[in-house]
Amino acid sequence: MGISTQLRNQHLLWRAGFGPGTLSAEELEGISNKQLLKNLFKDSSKLPPYIDVADADVKTLYMGLSEVIRSKRQLSEEDKKLLRERYREEIRALNLTWLNQMVNSEDQVREKAALFWHGHFACRSQNILHQQQLLDAVRTNALGKFPDLLRAVSKSGGMINFLNNNQNRKDHPNENFAREVMELFTMGRGNYTEEDIKEAARAFTGWGTDPAGNFVFRKGQHDTGRKTILGKSGNFDGDDVLNILIEHPQTAQYITRKIYRYYVNEKEDENNIKWLSDRFYKNGYDISALLQDIFSSDWFYDHRNIGSIIKSPVLLIAGIRRAIPMQISNEEVQITLQRLLGQQLFYPPNVAGWPGGTNWIDSSSLMLRLRIPQMIYAEDPLALQPKDDDDQMMGMKDKPKQAPKKGGQIISAIVNWDAYTKLFEKIPREKLLTAISNTVLQTSNGVSTTVLDKFSDSSTRDSYIRTATIQLMSTPEYQLC
């Protein structure tokens, strides 16, 4: 049985971006898959604007901190507390600003790729300026050349501080940075020796940042001696190590495999991965070319690859918002949902990032996922509270800006239903449920029309479209794309 153009295009829009938005079946059928792919990459070709949510007071205070450090004075306890509180608030603002970009921006391919790299280059930093710099490095280079992205991230204030390379000095090398660059960012575990890490750590000595997060090479702290890394010898520095790692084909294989699992299927096809990684390596690690190789391949649209990936929490939230456009007045509730579902932007669980796949789903998270559409439609309260996280709380309990209504927090959303119901204005009543199902779901598994009809409001055509959509979004099948 063949796959319709509508389903192929929806598959592409869910995988390359955050879902199809308000596109009718007629529009999806009316554009070729090839043309849609071309349009997507054209829309993501411009470099993204820098996201800056840090207010002037924080910047002034932080620049003052640079002077405090230079003069070896101590910041007052009051200023330290103010800085911590502002950082925390502004990282939440950064989260919501980027999430809104994922939902509303035409740069769907870039933002989806940036979300992948955000997990690949996992970093926890309580410094808003460092987080903004790192996010910009990721978004700017998300579709460029992997060596440029690797270098930009490796020299960022957030990553150098997170992996302790400011403490990496000659005679006292710190191996954290070198280990993670090899194990998580490039080659993958088992493709280097402990001696390679020790030697690479020596090469990275002297790599640091100033208080503002700008890269600084401290020549006096650098080990200038001869090092041997992956069979190559010389007076290597950090840039040389990155070049050696990039030159090794294993890096292309490791990155390609991870991208395949993110964009195609958790079940790996070795032939496809080898073909992709060989081309990735020969193309100079061109990320955009790799993604176009994936999205233009016939096997990408195989039945086995459609509806086979569990949506990450961020993809789930963004996808619902794109499908039924809405204005959320209490936007911070989305951060609560991210925390409850296990993917809060800028707070990866560890240096390896979010494991993804079936790890997104357990009994409690699945029940919450199924409830989100109803919480939006009927303003059902979110009574659950996420566990405290020391990094996020900074020793303080979460204090919502507005007290939640009795029984829990409400998602205060005004949904633009007219934009959504208009998608089905040409569909006859008897074909309406099938059309809605084909738009909402990416799986071939049928959902009982009897059950849907029973729980849908058929008093008016619009009410039926709305309630049937909410019911479909509340099924396990909607968790897949």
Calpha distance 273→285 (Å, rounded): 14
Q: What is the pLDDT of residue 404?
A: 47
Give CA 140 to chain center in angstroms. 14
Whether 409 and 385 have beta carbons less than 8 Å apart is answered as no
| 329, burial (CB in 10 Å: exposed 0-12, middle 13-18, buried 19+) | exposed
DSSP element (H, E) containing 71: none
Query: What's 50's DSSP letter?
Result: P
The interaxial angle of helices 461-473 and 363-378, nearest 10 deg, is 160
Supply angle C-alpha 55, 58, 61, rounded to 5: 150
Mean pLDDT split into 10-residue runs, the chain, 481 residues: 91 98 95 98 97 84 59 69 87 98 98 98 95 98 98 98 96 97 98 98 96 92 98 98 98 98 98 98 98 98 97 98 97 97 98 97 94 94 79 48 61 96 96 95 78 88 97 96 97
The letter for the amino acid at 87 is Y
Calpha distance 223→300 (Å, rounded): 47
Residue whose tokens read 């799986």: 443
Supply angle C-alpha 317, 318, 324, rounded to 5: 95
Farthest CA pair distance, the chain: 80
- pTM of the predicted model as reported, rounded to 2 decimal places: 0.94
Calpha distance 155→152 (Å, rounded): 5
Query: What's 404's DSSP letter?
Result: P
Calpha distance 135→36 (Å, rounded): 27
Q: What is the pLDDT of residue 400?
A: 47
Residue whose tokens read 């100079």: 284
Scored b (16 or more CB within 10 A) or e, 176-194 reads bbbbbbbbbbbbbeebbee
Q: What is the pLDDT of residue 232?
A: 98
The letter for the amino acid at 365 is S
Q: What is the pLDDT of residue 69?
A: 53
Helices (H), 302-362: 313-323, 333-341
Strand partners, 310: 480
Calpha distance 96→290 (Å, rounded): 29
Calpha distance 381→374 (Å, rounded): 10
Structure-token pair, residue 14 = 């869910």
